[in-house]
Amino acid sequence: MKYYILFGPPGAGKGTQASAMVQKYNLCHLSTGELLRSEIAAGTPLGLQAKALIEAGSLVPDEVVEGMIEAKFQGTEGVDGFLLDGFPRTIAQAEALDAMLAKTGEAVTAVVSIMIPDAMIHERIAHRATIEGRADDARPEVVENRIRTYHDKTEPLVGFYKETGRYNEIDGVGTIAEVQGRIFDLMDRF
């Protein structure tokens, strides 16, 4: 089983590229936001716990998210691996993921990080705001905060995965097909 982690700042094209990666490599895409919504909608015990926390205005603790991910790993059949998007976001979560996978003799296969310059993040998000009508994407201070949060939260993880030799950076500048080709060239090696 393959376990890929997808990194990239807002506007890097993660959503677009994730769809292609899932299709080409027969992966199950695990987006933490979608996973939480799905578990809540299904009324699972973890979903009910998450719903109560969210309704109380609290953040969903790592253990709940990790439990949902582990349940998805164990309950998904007919795929060759998983593409994690939005998890891990902290060193503690990365260590928990490693421990979770180690239980079954597995490990993270690779981190695929789609990188674009900060100036391009602004351009792409402004374009997305226009096309998709996303008012939150149109406010420069919101975009700047997303960029800052990405750098603050991701840089420690980049170091963590570089130390393990699993971190791989992809140039996200170019057409969708060009970036996709770079990702596929990388993933074909695993």
Instruction: Given the residues 2, 37, 72, 146, select the one marked as catalytic.
Output: 146
Q: Judging by beta carbons within 10 Å of its beta carbon (0-12, 13-18, 19+), is residue 88 exposed, middle or buried? A: buried
Instruction: Given the residues 72, 124, 128, 162, select the one marked as catalytic.
Output: 128
Instruction: Given the residues 24, 134, 139, 153, select the one marked as catalytic.
Output: 134
- Residue 134 appears among annotated catalytic residues: yes
Instruction: Given the residues 14, 51, 124, 166, select the one marked as catalytic.
Output: 14
Instruction: Given the residues 24, 72, 89, 162, select the one marked as catalytic.
Output: 89
Residue with tokens 């994730």: 18
The span from the CA of 171 to the CA of 10, in Å, is 14
- Residue 128 appears among annotated catalytic residues: yes
- Residue 72 appears among annotated catalytic residues: no
**Residue 150 token pair:** 């990405």
The span from the CA of 129 to the CA of 68, in Å, is 31
- Residue 124 appears among annotated catalytic residues: no
Alpha helices for 79-139 (secondary structure H): 91-102, 118-132, 135-138
- Residue 14 appears among annotated catalytic residues: yes
Active site residues: 14, 89, 128, 134, 146
